Each structure stands twice: as structure tokens, then as C-alpha cells.
Amino acid sequence: MSRMIIDTNILYSLVGLSTNQKVIDSPIDQFKLSITTPSLIEVISKYHNDLGSIKKCINPIINENIELISIGHAPISNGFLYRLHFANKIDEVKDIIDNVRALKISREAEFYRFILILVVSGLFEVIREDGYKFDNDVQNQSQLSLVQTLLESNMGLILDFFKVEMQNGYINGNEQQAALNAFETILIGLLHAFHVNYHMIKTDTVNISGSQDRLKNLHDSLGNDNFDKKFKKYMENPISLASKKNTNQ
């Protein structure tokens, strides 16, 4: 018998939590069904206040009608499933449900951070080619070093920001919009930091030590730039711009 890995939508239809005519009409009973632990985490997160619905979804796994495929980055133990299965009230398993939701948010935050770094790296190159790079090798190397430092030093901060914003999003029922807003907020901050770094190198104020004249040079250099208009272009579709740059490399 061939194996079919199902998603949450198929599972919800199979256990009666939703109606999906495509599932009803399909020859799904001719397959050995499997579901992954990330999908099960999605189930538990969605129905975190509804123990009955959670039980409906895990019963086929407990009864071995559906095989659970454990994915390393999103594990779920048998003991965890049995605690859910035998619980009488949601409060009895609130601790493990909260842990599952925290794991889901953490993994999603890591994914968004990964995508953000890819986009930012590509976008920085687009901006450099748009008049923000140096012909001087020393200045050019200094800029690349600052970019690397900017990203590496903020990896933890970026991850924590995504976690907090997405947690609030799940609480308010708008987790996808919360993630997109967080993505945009961080991207804006990194682009502005890149812009300032460029002018610090241009005016030789990277290692500034209180010189008012050099600070004025940096201020004037930033003020004379037309970055704001270009910035709007970069923010209209940053993923597309970054993708084109990466494709052309």
C-alpha cells in the first residue's frame, strides 16, 4: 500500500472537524496515511483551548490508523500524545500545550529570520550597485565588514523580536500580519543602518572620537543624500529586488 502524507486540512476533514469535498471524493482509504509532527503542532496550536478537537485529531494516531512522522526540529513524544489523550480538562495539559505553541513560534521566528537575512543580503547588494559602494578597496572592505557585523550582531535581537511580535499576533488572532509587520520593521531598521554605515565610511567617521567637525561632516553627508526617495523603491518589493540580484550573480 502506498503512503500518503496528509496535511492538517485533510486531517480535519477525516476526523469531522471540517468538510472537504475533495477529500470525501478521493480514494484516500487506499493509502497508508501519515502526518508529520509540524502538522500536529499546527493542530494543537490551532485548538489550544479545545481539548475535544485535539483529541479527535490525535485519536487516529493513538489507534495507529495514521502514522506520525517525527521531524527533528519539531519533535513530539508518545508521552506527550498520551497525556493529551487521557486528559479530562484542558487545564491538565496547559503546560505542554503552551510548550508546543512556544516551539511553533520559535520555529516560525527562525524561518522568518532566515528569509529576512536572505532578502537583506540581496537588497544590500542592490543598494550598493545603486550608488552606495566604493571604488577604493579599503573603503569597500570596510563597508562589507560593517554589513557582516550589522547582521551577525543582531541575529539574536531579530529572533527575539519576531518571537514577541508573533506571540502577540497569535494572542490577537492576526499572526500572519504580525509576522509581516515585524519583517518590515526589522528590514527598515537594517536598511537605515546600512545607509548610515555607508556615510560613516565616506566621511571617515567609523571610529569617531568626539570630533564635532567630523560629526558635522557625517550629518551633512546624510542630509545631502537622496536616500529617502530610493528607500521607497527598495521597500515596494524588497523580495523581488533581492531575488533578481541573487539570480544575476
pLDDT by residue (tens digit) across 69-128? Answer: 988 777 888 899 999 999 999 999 999 999 999 999 999 999 999 999 999 999 899 888
Asked if 162 and 243 sit in the same domain, the reply is yes
Asked if residue 50 lies in contact with residue 94, where contact means CB atoms within 8 angstroms, the answer is no
Query: What Å distances lie between residue 41 and 82, 124, 191, CA to CA?
Result: 15, 35, 34
Looking at the structure, tell me whether residues 133 and 203 fall in a common domain: yes
Q: What does each of the 249 residues of the chain score in pLDDT, given as a tens digit?
A: 788 999 999 999 999 999 888 888 888 888 999 999 999 999 998 899 999 999 999 999 999 999 999 887 778 888 999 999 999 999 999 999 999 999 999 999 999 999 999 999 998 998 888 888 898 999 999 999 999 999 999 999 999 999 999 999 988 888 899 999 999 999 999 998 998 898 888 888 877 665 677 778 888 888 787 777 777 777 777 766 666 555 555
Residue 72 lies in a domain: yes
Handedness of CA 137, 138, 140, 141 (dihedral sign): positive
Q: Write 229-232 long-range contacts (CB < 8 A, 24+).
A: 230/127, 230/130, 231/191, 231/195
Q: Which of 88, 118, 138 finishes a domain? A: 88
In a domain, 99, yes or no: no
Residues 32, 212: Cα–Cα separation, whole Å: 73
Q: Does residue 136 sit in the same domain as residue 181?
A: yes
| DSSP conformational letter for 135 | S
Structural domains of the chain, count: 2
Whether the pTM exceeds 0.85: the reply is: no
Domain span including residue 130: 104-248
Are both 83 and 186 inside the same structural domain?
Answer: no
- With respect to residue 94, please indicate whether it lies within any of the assigned structural domains: no
Q: Domain boundary at 88, 112, 127, which? A: 88
128 and 231 housed in the same domain: yes
Considering only CA atoms, which of 83, 111, 86 is closest in space to residue 97?
A: 83
Q: Residues 43, 150: one domain? A: no
| 71 DSSP 8-state letter | B
Residues 23 and 141 in one domain: no
Kindly state whether residue 140 falls inside one of the protein's structural domains. Answer: yes
Whether 74 and 128 map to the same domain: the answer is no
Residue 97 falls inside a structural domain: no
108 and 72 together in one domain: no
Please give the backbone phi and psi of residue 240, each rounded to the nearest 5 degrees, phi first: -65, -45
> Within a domain: residue 93?
no
Residues 6+ apart with CB under 8 A from 228: none
Tell me: do 28 and 81 sit in the same domain. yes
Rounded Cα gap, residues 65 and 81, in angstroms? 15
Structural domain includes residue 157:
yes
Residues 84, 110 share a domain: no
Does residue 74 sit in the same domain as residue 170? no
Q: DSSP states of 6-28 as a string?
A: --HHHHHHHTTSS--HHHHHS-G
Q: Are 227 and 202 in contact (CB under 8 A)?
A: no
Nearest alpha-carbon partner for 76 in 45, 38, 50? 38
Residue 96 forms part of a structural domain:
no
Cα–Cα nearest to 95, from 105, 103, 163, 57 = 103
